[in-house]
Amino acid sequence: MRYFLCLFVFCFVASSSSWQPGFRKVKAAPLLTKVLRVAVAGSEPFIIKKDSGLTGISIEIWQEAAAQADWRYSLQMYGSVPEALAAVTAGEADLVVGPVSITAERAHQVQFTEPYFGSSLSILSRVDAPTIWERIRPFFSQSFFVAVAVLSFTLALVGTLIWLAERDKSSDQFPRRAAPGIANGVWLAIVTMTTVGYGDRAPRTVLGRLLTAIWMIVSIITATSLVAGIASTLTLTGMKTVAISSTAQIPGKRVAVLDHSPGQELALDSRARIQPVESIQQGYDLVKQRKVDAFIFDRPQLLYLLQQERDSDLAVSKAAYMYQGYGFAAPLQSPVIHDLNINLLQLQESGRVKRIIREWLGEAEE
């Protein structure tokens, strides 16, 4: 009787939920047993809508990560990333897939995965031909005037030395009086440096010829460097330049940005006049039509769009700002994030993420 009583107590306790974890019946998270509602939003090349369905960098990475976990899901396209995030916080979606910038402000509302792509902001603006002033401005710079002053001093010094060496034996060419004598010496230095060689002045003394020979060698190097510098300056000033190449040129300029995007924050910090747009294409068109001076957005999207448009009248600045990671987003305390992070890390460690990005962006930085 005692034996059966002990067995009954043991079975009762073992079936109780208060028993040790090793004996508890683990239930699967409810969210993982149903079809995940995936909100999709973002711009090319991360999200691309085709007749055959959705594709792009973010879609391909998500598909491989979901396949590893054997998750079932349905995709729902949203007009923008903020709209997709709002759907998640409202309980209308279980996950956001796309180029979602991981920011502290958004982290208060949703939970992010590890970043699968590192991006930054850049500036799209026009490529303009230089004005007349921009072409000649280098010749009015401080460095140019310093170079002219050094050259003038050198010519005066060489002309004086030649005059001192020639004034006694060649006074017909280099008068004894200082002013005309030095002037003729400078003239000889100039025609020697430029290799014109009129022959109206020539040294006759050994010392004069030695000084002139030394000056010939020095002037070859000097003249060559001077001509090369002038040619380079003329070439560079004749090239088209990006209208806005950094945020230092933005204050007071009209700049297109997407609402609630990191680009808007950068434009505000740079004291720009904000022009809200609803899409990257609209921002591109406004710059093209000269209705705004620039468009600030994520660098990879701008480069991809410019590549697709094959437009030489616009360019993306080399300057990059506000590094930001792209990740997927889910509700706070979402049970899928942990497994999704593991799958993303496995894809990165295997090199698959890198290969997907290269398929879309070539050798661009991941």
Which CATH topology does 242-322 take?
D-Maltodextrin-Binding Protein; domain 2 (3.40.190)
Q: What is the mean pLDDT of residues 125-144?
A: 71
Which is more confidently placed, 307 or 101? 101
Instruction: Write the Ramachandran bin of 195: left for phi over 0, alpha for psi from -120 to 50, otherwise beta.
Output: left
How many residues can be counted in the chain?
366
Mean pLDDT of the chain: 83
Q: Residue 230: CB partners within 8 Å, gap ≥ 6?
A: none
The H-or-E segment that residue 346 falls in is helix 337-349
18-119+325-361 and 242-322 have identical folds: yes
pLDDT digits (tens, 9 = 90+) for 175-232: 988 888 899 888 988 888 877 878 788 888 989 889 888 988 888 877 667 666 666 6
Q: What is the pLDDT of residue 257?
A: 94
Instruction: Judge whether residue 1 has pLDDT over 60.
Output: no
Q: Highest mean pLDDT range out of 95-104, 204-213, 316-325? A: 95-104
From residue 170, alpha-carbon distances to 87, 174, 186, 190, 207 in Å are 96, 6, 15, 19, 12
Band the pLDDT of 113: cuts 50, 70, 90.
very high
**pLDDT at residue 331 in the model:** 95
- Least-confidence region, from 12-26, 96-110, 139-153, 182-196: 12-26
Band of residue 342 on the pLDDT scale cut at 50, 70, 90: very high
pLDDT at 231: 63
pLDDT of residue 237: 53
Q: What is residue 244's three-state secondary structure?
A: coil
Q: How far apart are CA 172 and CA 166, in angstroms?
A: 10
Taking every pair of Cα atoms in the chain, the longest distance, rounded to a whole number of angstroms, is 145
Kindly tell me if the per-residue pLDDT of 143 is higher than 70: yes
Task: Please tell me what DSSP assigns to residue 194.
Answer: T
Tell me the sheet residues that pair with 326.
Answer: 101, 117
Asked whether 270 and 247 are in contact (CB, 8 A), the reply is yes
Confirm or reject CATH 1.10.287.70 for domain 133-239, answering yes or no: yes
Gap between the Cα atoms of 317 and 282, Å rounded: 19
Q: What is the pLDDT of residue 15?
A: 46
Which pLDDT band holds residue 280 (cuts at 50, 70, 90)? confident
Q: Where are the domains of the chain?
A: 18-119+325-361, 133-239, 242-322
* Cβ-contact 116, 98 below 8 angstroms: no
Listed in order, strand segments (DSSP E) in 186-253 are 241-242
Q: What is the mean pLDDT of residues 337-360?
A: 93
- How many other C-beta atoms can be found within 10 angstroms of the C-beta atom of residue 261? 21
What pTM does this model have? 0.55
| Buried/exposed code over 88-120 (b: 16+ C-beta within 10 A; e: otherwise) | beeeebbbbbbbbbbeeebeeebbbbebbbebe
Q: What is the mean pLDDT of residues 58-75?
A: 94
- Candidates 313, 267, 305; CA nearest to 275 is 267
Sorting pLDDT into bands at 50, 70 and 90, what band is 338? very high
Give the model's pLDDT for residue 261.
83
Please report which confidence band the pLDDT of residue 124 belongs to, taking 50, 70 and 90 as the band edges.
Answer: very high
For 165, other C-beta atoms within 10 Å of its C-beta total 22
Superfamily of domain 18-119+325-361: Periplasmic binding protein-like II (3.40.190.10)
Pick from 139-148, 244-253, 354-363 the range whose average pLDDT is largest.
244-253
What is the average pLDDT across 303-332? 88
Q: Show the tokens assigned to 39.
A: 């909100």
Rounded mean pLDDT, 297-314? 85
